[in-house]
């Protein structure tokens, strides 16, 4: 990309001047030689195999040995999967258990609403971030040919079916292969590209059609008992929401495509990013509880408090963001921070008995916001945005605090009523989102010039990294209550998620630190020479570069976080793996079916982690644009 663009420099003044100096200006090169490499005659498969697999004696031995190993593994795996005694029904019957465990069935609509929100946001984000791109038809046909060949190989080496059946399946694979090969070799496929999003949507539509048409059977698991399987397609209560989700996804995508050229893209992207962030707590609330508001208290306590902090804090932020009050703003912020700290101290000493926890927290947060005002303020629009951010922030805080303090209308059996894949995703996503800012701050602290920050952050990181995750999970599930202010308690799953986040943050900090070290000294100097403050330099110059440099490491850690949620089983959370291993594996009607379920679970884990790693590759490519 960068190479071909260099060809476009001829417009610049100095180049033009240089060209003019020459007696005979050379003819301008219209097509850069880098853009179209000379087409080599295509190699046949035999030639390719000879060049790549059998080029030397050693290579030939290696090829043969590897082929034998691959065939043996494939044969063993297929023998396991397709053996008649396998109870794959145990997976199908328990799908609901796998997804939500004991979540009350009449409240499933909540889960679907949450899913719908994420799908709609996803569709819009795909459109605005221009996900996908032109996909050559030949890549699709090549993929189909590869899969057909692989399928044929499985049928051939698989020890599981009679010869006539094998022949039928071989014929099917052959037909697919032939059809794809015909398209593949045509001139049309060489020239044509289709939008990859369309391809994915087509696959999605096919999947939805399959749900409606293929008789998977109709299982359900109600009140701890498996309802007998019925022939036919899956239940309406699954088919309809799934279809609605697909429609929402595609519709959101097309709405996004239609809008993206008519609205300011950056503003929409910012809004979408914010919506993603807010969707996490919002979704948690939709799934976990539906506050039964006590309107008397809302009107007498929460609304006045909110109004006080939103308006009063807004005025203070407006003051602090005025460039001519820079020093005053910092001083004010410092004073408010001290007042917030004092309020905690006085409460601890028992001198402010009636003060609500959230009020103290609000004072501290206001201090931070006012302190940041001079750094991020400026022109009227920036100031308005800053005040709006404060008001939004404090509004959310009060909404959630008020909601937590109201009884829930979602009736559940126990505290840990949610389980399965939902809790795995919920904990993993919350951990990723909570640990990220903490990890970044820790990394900045550890590389800070101020010794107190450096020592504190280093100590924290080294201590947390030296303690096993399981210890931390136990600690937070059992002992956290002892450390909280009197009268305050948090749900065990939240406590465990918090502990997991703090653990993950320490590792994340080390990854980010690697990125910080990769940012060259000159970048700091250039930023400082422009008069930017240390906070601005970190936020706009250093962190963006540091984070992009460590995307692979960060994604690797996110994948680890996702997989290691299975350790939560140790503190009594019914996570996805636990259900396969200990719940389904011990159901009396499916005794001995644990291996099937473990394989299923590993496959689902793999799908998630594989998608994450592919997404990170795309992200790397996209962010790498314009960099050398």
Interface residue list for other proteins (CB under 8 A): 1-2, 5-6, 9, 11-14, 18, 323, 327, 375-382, 520, 522-523, 525-533, 536, 540-541, 544-545, 548, 623, 625-628
* Least spacing, CB of residue 527 vs other proteins, in Å: 8
Handedness of CA 353, 354, 357, 363 (dihedral sign): negative
8 Å CB contact between 601 and 504: no
Q: Which is nearer to other proteins, 532 or 570 (CB)?
A: 532
Q: Which is nearer to other proteins, 245 or 547 (CB)?
A: 547
* Least spacing, CB of residue 29 vs other proteins, in Å: 16
| Largest Cα span, the chain | 93
8 Å CB contact between 231 and 213: no
Q: Which is nearer to other proteins, 56 or 266 (CB)?
A: 266
Q: Which secondary-structure segment (H or E) carries 367?
A: helix 357-376
List Cβ neighbours of 299 (8 Å cut-off, separation of 6 or more). none
* Least spacing, CB of residue 386 vs other proteins, in Å: 12
Helix axes 108-128, 265-288, angle to 10 degrees: 170
Q: Which is nearer to other proteins, 44 or 522 (CB)?
A: 522
* Least spacing, CB of residue 5 vs other proteins, in Å: 5
* Least spacing, CB of residue 380 vs other proteins, in Å: 8
8 Å CB contact between 32 and 10: no
* Least spacing, CB of residue 322 vs other proteins, in Å: 9
* Least spacing, CB of residue 332 vs other proteins, in Å: 16
User: What is the separation of C-alpha 68 from the centre of its chain, rounded to a whole number of angstroms?
Assistant: 38
The DSSP code sequence of 453-493 is: HHHHHHHHHHHHHTS-HHHHHHIIIIIHHHHSPTT----HH
* Least spacing, CB of residue 449 vs other proteins, in Å: 12
8 Å CB contact between 415 and 492: yes
Report d(CA 604, CA 25) in Å as an integer: 63
Handedness of CA 559, 563, 567, 569 (dihedral sign): positive
Query: How far is CA 90 from each of CA 85, 98, 112, 463, 586, rounded to the nearest angstrom?
Result: 12, 11, 24, 43, 11
Within 13 Å and on the Cβ side, how many CA atoms surround 94?
A: 32
What is the Rg, in whole angstroms, of the alpha carbon atoms belonging to the chain? 30
Q: At residue 418, what are phi and psi to the nearest 5 degrees?
A: -90, 140
Q: Which of these, 550, 612, 269, lies nearest to 425 by C-alpha position?
A: 612
* Least spacing, CB of residue 33 vs other proteins, in Å: 18
List Cβ neighbours of 290 (8 Å cut-off, separation of 6 or more). 110, 408, 409, 410
Q: Which is nearer to other proteins, 231 or 531 (CB)?
A: 531
* Least spacing, CB of residue 10 vs other proteins, in Å: 11
Q: Which is nearer to other proteins, 380 or 591 (CB)?
A: 380
Q: How many CB atoms lie within 10 A of CB 40?
A: 6
Q: Which is nearer to other proteins, 237 or 523 (CB)?
A: 523
* Least spacing, CB of residue 19 vs other proteins, in Å: 11
Joined together, the tokens standing for residue 594 give 């644990």
């Amino acid at each position: 990309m960068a190479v071909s663009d260099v060809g476009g420099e001829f417009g610049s003044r100095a180049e033009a001047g240089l060209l003019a100096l020459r007696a005979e200006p050379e003819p301008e090169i219209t097509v850069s030689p880098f853009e179209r490499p000379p087409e080599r005659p295509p190699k046949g498969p035999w030639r390719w195999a000879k060049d790549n697999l059998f080029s030397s004696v050693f290579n030939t031995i290696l090829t043969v040995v590897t082929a034998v190993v691959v065939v043996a593994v494939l044969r063993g795996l297929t023998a396991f999967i397709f053996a008649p005694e396998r109870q794959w029904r145990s997976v199908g019957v328990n799908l609901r258990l796998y997804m939500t465990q004991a979540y009350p069935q009449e409240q499933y609509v909540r889960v679907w609403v949450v899913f719908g929100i994420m799908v709609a946001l996803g569709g819009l984000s795909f459109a605005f971030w221009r996900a996908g791109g032109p996909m050559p038809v030949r890549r699709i046909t090549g993929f189909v040919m590869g899969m057909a060949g692989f399928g044929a190989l499985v049928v051939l080496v698989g020890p599981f079916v009679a010869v006539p059946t094998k022949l039928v399946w071989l014929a099917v694979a052959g037909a697919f292969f032939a059809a794809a090969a015909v398209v593949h070799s045509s001139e049309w496929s060489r020239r044509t590209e289709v939008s990859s999003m369309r391809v994915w949507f087509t696959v999605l539509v096919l999947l939805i059609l399959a749900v409606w048409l293929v008789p998977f059977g109709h299982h359900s698991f109600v009140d701890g008992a498996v309802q007998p399987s019925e022939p036919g397609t899956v239940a309406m209560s699954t088919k309809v929401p799934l279809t609605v989700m697909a429609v929402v996804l595609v519709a959101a995508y097309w709405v996004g495509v239609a809008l993206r050229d008519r609205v300011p893209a950056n503003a929409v992207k910012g809004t979408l990013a914010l919506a993603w962030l807010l969707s996490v707590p919002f979704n948690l609330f939709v799934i976990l509880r539906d506050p039964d508001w006590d309107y008397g208290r809302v009107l007498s306590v929460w609304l006045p408090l909110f109004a006080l902090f939103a308006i009063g804090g807004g005025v203070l932020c407006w003051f602090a963001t005025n460039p001519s009050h820079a020093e005053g703003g910092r001083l004010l912020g410092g004073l408010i921070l001290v007042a917030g700290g004092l309020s905690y101290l006085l409460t601890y000493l028992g001198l402010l008995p009636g003060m609500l926890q959230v009020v103290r927290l609000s004072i501290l947060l206001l201090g931070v916001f006012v302190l940041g005002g001079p750094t991020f303020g400026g022109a009227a629009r920036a100031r308005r945005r800053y005040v709006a951010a404060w008001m939004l922030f404090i509004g959310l805080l009060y909404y959630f605090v008020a909601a937590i303090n109201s009884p829930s209308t979602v009736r559940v059996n126990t505290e840990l009523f949610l389980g399965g894949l939902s809790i795995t995703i919920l904990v993993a996503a919350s951990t990723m989102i909570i640990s990220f800012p903490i990890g970044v701050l820790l990394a900045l602290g550890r590389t800070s010039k101020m010794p107190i920050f450096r020592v504190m952050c280093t100590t924290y990181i080294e201590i947390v990294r030296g303690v096993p995750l399981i210890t931390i999970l136990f600690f937070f599930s059992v002992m956290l209550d002892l450390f909280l202010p009197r009268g305050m308690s948090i749900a065990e799953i939240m406590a465990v998620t918090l502990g997991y986040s703090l653990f993950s943050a320490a590792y994340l900090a080390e990854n980010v630190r690697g990125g910080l070290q990769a940012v060259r000294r000159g970048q700091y100097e250039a930023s400082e020479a422009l008069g930017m403050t240390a906070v601005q330099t970190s936020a706009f110059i250093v962190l963006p570069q540091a984070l992009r440099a460590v995307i692979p490491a960060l994604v690797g850690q996110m994948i680890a976080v996702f997989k290691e949620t299975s350790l939560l089983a140790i503190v009594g959370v019914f996570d996805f793996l636990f259900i396969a291993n200990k719940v389904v594996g011990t159901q009396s009607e499916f005794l001995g079916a644990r291996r099937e379920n473990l394989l299923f679970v590993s496959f689902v884990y793999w799908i998630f982690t594989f998608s994450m790693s592919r997404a990170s590759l795309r992200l790397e490519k996209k962010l790498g644009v314009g960099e050398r």
